[in-house]
Amino acid sequence: MRTLRAVTLFGLLFIFWLALSARLDPLFVVMGLVSAAVVTWLSLALLEGVLGQADATPRLHLWHLLTYLVWLIARIPPAGFQVARVVLDPRLGARPGVVRFRTRLASPTARTTLANSITLVPGTMTIEVRDEVFVVHAFNPQAAADLATGAMQNRIARAFRNEHDPEPVLIWEPVHDALPQDPT
């Protein structure tokens, strides 16, 4: 299983090299092979430290992973427009806060996917992950809507063949108290 992870990482890195260099000259191909091999060798231990041993990583359901990625990419533009609207319209005002919630995603890989997905969506950023507790900064309460429904967690759970999470209990903590009004 570790060999499969290393070969997959090597293959992805080499394909990435080819895509960025856009050249198939023998020199570039050899440089890409060497670079991908060195980076794979150097980062495999780090990858296992973060994601867990290869045999402990759950098998993915590729169709559900693909549908999750499409869903996530579709969430990014509306969230970006929502943040832009709040920024550009001073009457709306940003109401930043921190949200805490628990998830039942079992594997470190699934939790890492959730943390990175939260950060990818405009208006939210994962601050801390400790076991099953997530701390997320949100631009406003609406930015955390997908977290409140559990939609993101459940789609990831399906892709990683985990149980579905019940709707999480979000604890919203405003970042600051209301600012005093300017007397002038």
Looking at every residue in the chain, the average pLDDT score rounds to 85
Cα 29 to its chain centre, rounded Å, is: 31
Tell me which residue range forms the domain holding 13: 2-56
| 107 lies in the same domain as 168 | yes
- Shared domain for 76 and 51, answered yes or no, is no
Distance of CA 80 to the CA centre of its chain: 16
**Candidate ranges 23-37, 80-94, 146-160; pick with highest mean pLDDT:** 23-37
User: How many domains are there within the chain?
Assistant: 2
Same domain, 31 and 83: no
**The pair of three-digit structure tokens given for residue 161, joined into one six-digit string:** 């063949």
Helices 2-21 & 26-51 angle (0-180, nearest 10): 140
**Residue-level pLDDT at 54:** 60
For residue range 122-135, what is the model confidence (pLDDT) as tens digits? 999 999 999 889 99
Q: How much is the pTM?
A: 0.71
Q: Rounded distance, CA 54 to CA 56, Å?
A: 5
3-state SS, one letter per residue, for 93-155: CCCCEEEEEECCCCCHHHHHHHHHHHHHCCCEEEEEEECCEEEEEECCHHHHHHHHHCHHHHH
- Asked if residue 66 and residue 49 are part of one domain, the reply reads no
**Would you state the pLDDT for residue 73?**
95
Q: How many CB atoms lie within 10 A of CB 10?
A: 17
Is pLDDT above 80 for 55? no
Domain-embedded: residue 28: yes
Does 66 share its domain with 44?
no
